[in-house]
A = this chain, B = another copy of it.
Amino acid sequence: MTRADAIHGLIHPRSIAIVGASAELSKINGRPLKFLLEKGYAGRILPVNPKYPQIAGLPCSPDIASLPEAADLAIVAVPAREVLASIDALGRRGVRAAVVFSSGFGETGPEGLQLEQAVVDCARRHGMVLCGPNCLGFVNAFDKVYATFSQYADGETGPGPIAFVTQSGAFGTAIAALARQRGLGLGYFINTGNQADLDFSELMDSVIDDPRIRVAAGYLEGLEDGAALIRLAQRCQALGKPLVLTKVGRMASGQRAAASHTGALAVADTVFDAVIRQYGVLRARNEEQMLDMLQALAQPRPARGNGLGIATQSGGAGVMMADRAEEVGLSMPELGEATRARLAEVMPAFGSAGNPVDVTGQFVARPELLTESVVALLGDPAVHIGIVWLQLMTAHVDTLVRIFCEIRDRSDKPFFVCWVAAPAEALRRLNAEGIVVFSAGERAVEAAAALARHGQFRRRLPLAVDAAVLAGVPRDLHDGVQPSVQATAWLSAAGVPMAPVALARDEDDAVALWRAIGSAVALKIESPDITHKTEVGGVVLKLNDEAGVRAAHRDLLARASLAAPAARLDGVLVQRMSAGHLELVVGAQRDPVFGMVVMVGLGGVLVEVLKDVSFRHAPFDTDEALAMLAELRMGAVLDGVRGQPGVDRAQLAGLLSRLSHWVAAMQPWLAELDLNPVLVGASGPQGVDCVMVFRQQGEDPRFPSRPALPASSLPTRQETDR
């Protein structure tokens, strides 16, 4: 049996053993049985407990070995100290999937973690998959599988198009209950607990291709396996299904607290945020925003653009929504002439036929006013999503439900009702009609933005891997700081524009190199032990006469020996002074969760203060690189300020994208890479200084292995430096 088969058995079991089943159906170890019976699970239920001959009319096995069959799934609800033996016995009995409720493992400290590891090792020996431990279990609402003791299952759990996987039991239960309150159906509700074996990504992956599922929603407290999350996001994209995530720990202090709570590896939130958005994940800042987004995404109509049309009963509400739309990246298009003409026909004189359309409260007397206005608005080619805002109208529920049904039937675009202080009956009836209702204007707009972003991402082309860049991928590597000449050559060969640099063998050679360049040069100390040259006074700029070059050469060697007596000195680098009016910082680093990420920022002192940088997971294409540049708060500097010429963003994006490909290919070796500064002048961007450090990684299954390399030889000095 493959792991996939075992996981399939976990989620869609034809038989369920309950180890430690209690006859007290309100207790944790009694509740799954209660739910399975009450809600009509059609498979075989096999309680295991030596205390009872039977429970609720079902024959009860005295121990695991006596189970009448190797159940597809075992629920383990015994004290922590008995879990290891139970798992072993289940494995021997041929059971290949278990959900472990028991707590007292990794969440309690090192001892618990050891026990947890022993349980996982045992399960793996038997080819068994585990959900948990320390979890509330899961619900597969389609097949009425209630392998859970969550309070959520106390209520109605009718299936729906959402798969919800949560690392937190308590918060996840709350979110599930809120989803139910909004009439959102969960097809799957899964609590991962300690993720000793199956983690968030693998569990979500196991349910996302169910055709009844339209949206994936996750609640995260920590993340260890970034590659798996990226694969999941790519899978969701391929399926055309949105993935919505809420992750706590946005702030530095929050991350500390999360680490102490879940023991999960803290991931720097800025990198997390950048990477998941890169892969089309929709991030919800909290549970309410997640549910708002789910409402928009669980309805079947896609957004074919980001044009928002608003019809409102209150000018102020329209302004508030228009403001929010601007903030979240939706456009509020001017309406076309045909739309305006139609609105002028149907609108009252004191309404407003712009966007937002202000229909005022007159539609109470003339319902067709609202219907025709909104149908006209949605009919505008620049409008891709519609929102109708209204309030109270307790006495007009019938009329309004009829109006909204008519609008739905006369347009094929997604539209949402925002009904503030809506009567409960209206919510119920619109829900039953499949019409999405929000309780506040800004919520509706944010949800619309999520739908638009998903649509935009679906229309994006898949990444075309740049094969040419592999020419620049080196071989015959050694750890440590790489020589500047070599590093420069590799990057140049990969298409990353670099300022040529040469190593002078001695003072005379330095002079010869300067003469060959024929204009002002910089001299820099070169040593595998000195990564920050300026800190040891290791850079002299703007030299353009022989005496100066000679003096600088001597000075650099002397200063380096003084500042870093133990450093091995390779000599002095000679480099033409680069021109450029704009200074950027570009770098790559190995994120512990996601692997190689590329960073870009504007250089200079103020940037240090603002931390105005953006990140992407490598590799990425030039469109993504343009998006990185667009994220910089000071990005307007790129377009020229105070008479400075603008820079060519496409050239810069090309540099970033090619670098990202190279960096991705170098994943197994590259530890860090800094191009600081990258100077941008009239002839485009050019990396001037380069610090490249290799540190070969042990085998890490999370990161993709290095692609096959072309048989290129190492570049020589002649190829690169003049």
Contacts and interface: CB of A to CB of B under 8 A. Distances in A.
Interface of A: 103-104, 107-108, 151-152, 154-155, 167-171, 173-174, 177-178, 181, 219, 221, 248-251, 253-254, 257-258, 260-262, 285-288, 313-320, 322-323, 326-327, 332, 349-350, 352, 354, 356, 358, 361, 391-395, 420-421, 440-442, 604-606, 608-610, 633-634, 636-637, 641-642, 644
Contact of A261 (B173, B319, B637, B642): B319
Contacts of A326: 251, 253-254
A175 B169 CA distance: 34
Contact of A394 (B151, B354, B393, B441): B151
Contacts of A173: 391-392
A578 B349 CA distance: 63
A609 B151 CA distance: 52
How many copies of this chain does one complex carry?
Answer: 2
A316 B221 contact: yes
B322 A421 contact: no
A296 B644 CA distance: 51
A341 B533 CA distance: 52
Contacts of A318: 257, 261
Given A170-B314, A315-B221, A315-B261, A605 B323 contact: no
B319 A249 contact: yes
Contacts of A261: 315-316, 318-319, 352, 358
A654 B461 CA distance: 57
Nearest to A360: B170
Given A170-B314, A323-B254, A642 B608 contact: yes
Given A261-B358, A605-B641, A637-B606, A254 B171 contact: no
Contacts of A249: 319, 323
A320 B254 CA distance: 7
7 contacts: A154-B394, A168-B316, A177-B392, A251-B326, A261-B315, A605-B644, A610-B633
A257 B606 contact: no
A169 B634 CA distance: 41
A310 to B, nearest CB: 10
Nearest to A643: B605
Contacts of A642: 605, 608
Question: Which 3 A-B pairs rank lowest in CB-CB distance, beginning with the nearest?
Answer: A261-B315, A174-B391, A177-B421
Contacts of A170: 313-314, 316-317, 361, 391
Contacts of A350: 103-104, 107-108
